[in-house]
């Protein structure tokens, strides 16, 4: 399972880097403020995807051991 998780993380980071590279390549004529905003949105989406994947993995591990996620873990999604 660890190998699959590592491949997923590598894929997500690669997609984020490609998106940022494409943005840099087509940014001629686009105001710098817009470029920064779009870059921040790309990084936010990649970060959210990684955080959600980690939370889902923890939930799956707890349930596979016959446990249920704590209230604190369940409320983490609400705080964002």
Q: Whole-model pTM above 0.85?
A: no
Q: How many whole angstroms separate alpha carbon 17 and alpha carbon 55?
A: 23
pLDDT tens string, the chain, 80 residues long: the values are: 577 878 888 888 888 888 888 888 887 788 889 888 988 998 888 888 888 888 887 777 666 766 655 555 555 555 44
Of the candidates 78, 72, 47, 44, the one whose C-alpha atom is nearest the C-alpha of residue 58 is 72
Predicted local distance difference test score (pLDDT) of residue 75? 52
Predicted local distance difference test score (pLDDT) of residue 37? 92
């Amino acid at each position: 399972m660890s190998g699959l998780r590592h491949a997923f993380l590598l894929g997500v980071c690669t997609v984020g880097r490609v998106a940022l590279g494409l943005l840099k390549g087509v940014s001629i004529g686009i105001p710098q403020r817009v470029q920064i905003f779009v870059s921040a949105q790309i990084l936010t989406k990649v970060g959210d995807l990684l955080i959600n994947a980690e939370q889902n993995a923890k939930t799956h591990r707890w349930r596979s051991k016959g446990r249920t996620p704590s209230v604190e873990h369940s409320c983490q999604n609400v705080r964002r």
